[in-house]
Amino acid sequence: MMTPMRYWYLRHGETDWNKQGLSQGRTDIPLNATGLAQAEAAGELLTGRAAGALRIDRIVSSPLMRALRTAEVAADALERVGPRPSLTVDQGLEEVCFGEQEGQSMGAWYDDWIAGHYTPPGAEPFMLLRDRAVEAVNRALGGPGTVMIVAHGALFRALRSAMHLPANVRLPNATPLVAEPPAITGTPWKLTVVS
């Protein structure tokens, strides 16, 4: 169960594998030039929006380089308008392991994986990803102040499922959003994309 606290979420910027429509999973692919520009644009958005009650005090990132670099760029931008948020990593925020599908084109199997009907050989089942993602976010929410999670697309789909939202909705690269818990437990969370 998700800790009912507001938090920020930022998916990493684009990589070459994103651009080519390939499954990345745990393969540690860096940001490409577009992804770095996207991370910088997200940082600029955050400097204007992450103020007052929405101020980001801490950033917790996946250790994979595409997410960690996005988190560093965001922290640099936020430091220009206030105290630099602390930045830590949590292994639990790593992207799902897609097993033999890593480096392959995304295909029809993806919907079945989310539904729990199929898991590629060597891959992590969707429900295990969901449990791991919720545990990692709950750890992050246990610290002081407002936190921003910087991680991945499939991991966010798992969090959407835990927040009682349709899971198979794509979050564009480097799109910051605020997740707010519902007033009634067990009902959908509110997600607000910052633009």
Catalytic residue list = 12, 95
Interatomic CA distance for residues 37 and 43, integer angstroms: 10
Phi, psi of 104 (to 5 degrees): -100, 160
DSSP calls for 165-186: S-S--PPPTT-EEEEE--SSTT
CA distances from 10 to 65, 132, 184 (A): 14, 18, 25
Q: Residue 29: which of 44, 15, 9, 40 has the closest Cα? A: 15
